[in-house]
Amino acid sequence: MVAVIDKDVKQIRRQVFSTEIKEFFNRDNVFRDEKHMTDYIYDNIDLFFNDIICSNEKIIEARKEYPIKKYINQSGKRNIRFDLYIKTKENEYIIELKNPRTKGSTGVYSQLRNSIVQCMTYKMYKPDAKIFLVSTLWDDIVFELINYYGLDINFILFNKEYTAYMSIDNTN
């Protein structure tokens, strides 16, 4: 099930995730690039957090591109960083943002699959944090992966007009 929220975040409509929702989340509604998406959300962080993530907590700290670990691999120095990090009195939130490219060698599925691995890595470093994967596009297998393995990842489809939440059905 997915809840699609209209532009004013007042009206919630429930529907089965199907081709019906594709009109809201398609290649025409994506951001210019991931940096633009990150900047847009960060510039509107209070609204984004209160309307989409959690309405009953107040942000104490919000950072973008928040580094948590430096390491060296075969290709040189690397950083593990959160796209967005939000701290409230009650919780920590880690938000991985994806604005998948639809052209080139990697498709939406492979980019979101890699994002799931990133989210699992974040959970390893911050086990008590709430993890969100926010993407402008989706692939059905991503929902199946999160559900099948019972991953503690909240998946949200997002663009400037609409938001949709994936809810896991554990009754299957």
Distances (CA, A) of 91 to 26, 113, 152, 155: 32, 26, 15, 18
> Which three-class secondary structure state does DSSP give residue 85?
strand
Residue 36: CATH number of its domain: 3.40.1350
Single pTM value for the model: 0.80
Domain tally, the chain? 1
Tally of CB atoms within 10 A around 10: 7
**Domain hosting residue 29, numbered range:** 2-166
Residue 101 belongs to some domain of the structure: yes
- Using one digit for the tens of pLDDT, what is the confidence trace for 30-87? 688 888 889 999 999 999 999 888 889 999 999 998 877 766 666 666 678 899 999 9
